[in-house]
Amino acid sequence: MQKHGKMKRKKMKKPGKENRKGANYIFITGGMSGLGKGLVTASTAKILQSLGFNVTVIKIDPYLNVDAGTMSPFEHGEVFVTSDGYESDQDLGVYERFLNKNLTRDHNITTGRIFWQVLQKERAGKYLGKTVQPIPHITNEIKGEIKKVVDEENADFVVVEIGGTVGDIENALFLEAIRQLAFTEKVKFIHVVYIPELILKEQKTKMAQHSVKRLREVGIEPDFLIARTAKPLTEEARKKLSLFCNVKLSNVISSHDISDIYRLPLLFLEQDYDILLLREFGLPEQKANLSSWKRAIERKENAKKTINIGIVGKYSKLRDSYISIEQAFKHCEYALGLHINLEWIDAEKIENGFLLNNLSLNGILVPGGFGERGAEGKIKAIRYARENGIPFLGLCLGFQLAAIEFARNVCGLKDATSAEFTKKSKNFVIDVMGDQEVLLREKKYGATMRLGAYPCRVKKGTLAFKAYGKEQISERHRHRYEINNEYRDILESKGMVFSGINPERDLVEIAELKDHPFFMGTQFHPELKSRPLRPHPLFCEFIKAAIRKR
Ligand code: GLN
């Protein structure tokens, strides 16, 4: 209560951050793993963005790895690379594609990074003699990292996905941090639950109820439930979820199986998720418009043409490690109105004699990768594409192997290879650069590759220039090895064209062949920048060439 008498004069607030109306926070948790929380996060953010808000997103990963750079794709799927050179979980790629927005390292918070930062502060004496504890020091660090993103971007909304499952020891500190945030900020919680359909074809809600119970045990009450089911959520199940989980009936949203992940925001809009979200935050209600998004999806769905693209890789059994490539093709389907059938071909199968002419391929892509396994099979596939005029796109390792294949079979350097594969050769057409050699020798593997966006100058009159339509481009990298400049003359003299060069260090970024319908390799990863309504020009040119090959 205000005391009577002389009132203290309030300090005038400076305009700026403090005087902003304040951001709205949305936290997305899950009752199980593999429910597509990343897609729910991206779709929620997409809807708010299309309503005209400045929306940002954050992925919280409860693992101790500082970033995803050292994780095996077998275990963790694709490592996504942001333009600032951060190696993240693949969800950042999902967000970038949905929001058509570049994210940075700040948008991924891992337990490893948080602990690392707190321990560094402790060593630097920043806590002034205090006992440093999980609560409040770790939780404050988490809250600080989330707020930093909001403030730097002046965001109206931040949508934060909490990785892992509610009830895990691992994400307990994150749940505690967001519970505290709800005390001081405008926060809504969205919980994604799994609704199985058992033998009697009845949707069972018990599991979902239990996960909500666990959430409530840590002081979090969900404002929305997103029910992941095979079939649309029945009214009966919706009512049960609402009653037992204490969530408004209208705020129980069905997230049943759909034909295309990009349809998820549309499915949510059908259930008035836009209006319901705005209502929860007390904002003026309006309907979102995603009509161009919808038209793009329909262009693919109504298409008649189909082409076959072979993807020759090492991890062919694990499609998760090629998510961005798969998505880049999907975006071409949207733009060009066709179906692209992807044939996943294990490179080792080719080594063991499998012949590619058994498949009617309109194009071949060799993706990035690490290590020697499967390399000879990929080289065979590249040779087959080169000699038979089949459109070819080589990405990173795929590009390096294309240079090796050309050096061996066209330039006559029979032992041409990469320093990544062997120490014994006279012709390292692919080699490490100076600084990388030191890092490798010292076994410094975390975040030490050539990472993130670098500029590239595209040569006029080339296939690459035709695709990009401009000279200055910037693309994202993740590699240690490069084309060895000592071999450029011989490769060029036999018809290889270096159509993209990094101007600062004179490195080859794009190579192509003259007398071929479409043969191109890139040291960078174009797939990382492809977006649903902005497909990558190189993928589009590749697909157009593949259509002509039909
Ligand atoms: N292994 C290769 C290198 O390190 C290629 C990496 C990649 O394909 N991303 O240079």
Q: How confident is the model over 337-350, as a mean pLDDT?
A: 95
What is the pLDDT, as a whole number, of residue 446? 65
Judge if 28-289 and 300-549 fold alike in CATH terms: yes
| pLDDT-derived band at 1, boundaries 50, 70, 90 | very low
User: Does residue 386's CB lie within 6 angstroms of at least one atom of ligand 1?
Assistant: no
| C-alpha distance from residue 70 to each of 76, 107, 445 (Å) | 10, 18, 7
Q: Does the structure show a pLDDT above 90 at 68? A: no
What is the pLDDT, as a whole number, of residue 9? 45
Q: How confident is the model over 274-289, as a mean pLDDT?
A: 97
Neighbouring CB atoms inside 10 A of 4's CB total: 6
Calpha distance 134→217 (Å, rounded): 19
Tell me, in angstroms, the distance from the centre of ligand 1 to residue 477's CA: 9
| pLDDT-derived band at 15, boundaries 50, 70, 90 | very low
Q: How confident is the model over 243-253, as a mean pLDDT?
A: 98
Calpha distance 496→515 (Å, rounded): 9
Calpha distance 316→133 (Å, rounded): 45
Q: How confident is the model over 150-172, as a mean pLDDT?
A: 95
Tell me, in angstroms, the distance from the centre of ligand 1 to residue 481's CA: 6
What is the pLDDT, as a whole number, of residue 14? 42
Percent of the chain with pLDDT over 70: 93
Q: With contact defined as beta carbons under 8 Å apart, do 484 and 429 qualify?
A: yes
User: Does residue 313's CB lie within 6 angstroms of at least one atom of ligand 1?
Assistant: no
Pick from 312, 397, 440, 482 the residue to mutate for probing ligand 1's pocket: most ligand atoms within 8 Å of its CB.
397
Q: How confident is the model over 390-416, as a mean pLDDT?
A: 98
Domain regions of the chain by residue span: 28-289, 300-549
Pick from 71, 325, 370, 395 the residue to mutate for probing ligand 1's pocket: most ligand atoms within 8 Å of its CB.
370
For the chain, counts of helices (H) and of strands (E): 19, 21
Determine the atom of ligand 1 nearest the C-alpha atom of 370.
Answer: 1
What is the pLDDT, as a whole number, of residue 308? 97
Tell me, in angstroms, the distance from the centre of ligand 1 to residue 394's CA: 12
Fold of 300-549: Rossmann fold (3.40.50)
Q: Does the structure show a pLDDT above 80 at 447? A: no
User: Does residue 69's CB lie within 6 angstroms of at least one atom of ligand 1?
Assistant: no
CATH code matching the domain that covers 28-289, chosen among 3.30.2180.10, 3.40.50.2300, 3.40.47.10, 3.40.50.300: 3.40.50.300
Burial-class residue 76 by CB neighbours within 10 Å (0-12, 13-18, 19+): middle
E strands, 202-292, are 224-229, 252-256
Question: What tokens were used for 339?
Answer: 């179906």
Q: What is the pTM of this model?
A: 0.93
| pLDDT-derived band at 444, boundaries 50, 70, 90 | low
Question: What tokens were used for 300?
Answer: 């693919």
Q: How confident is the model over 32-36, as a mean pLDDT?
A: 88
* Mean pLDDT estimate for the chain: 93
What is the pLDDT, as a whole number, of residue 448? 76
Tell me, in angstroms, the distance from the centre of ligand 1 to residue 399's CA: 9
Q: Does the structure show a pLDDT above 90 at 353? A: yes
- Give the tens place of pLDDT for each residue, 92-151: 999 999 999 999 999 999 999 999 999 999 999 999 999 999 999 999 999 999 999 999
What is the pLDDT, as a whole number, of residue 18? 44
| Atom 6 in ligand 1: residue holding the nearest Cα | 479
| pLDDT-derived band at 362, boundaries 50, 70, 90 | very high
Q: Does the structure show a pLDDT above 80 at 437? A: no
User: Does residue 97's CB lie within 6 angstroms of at least one atom of ligand 1?
Assistant: no
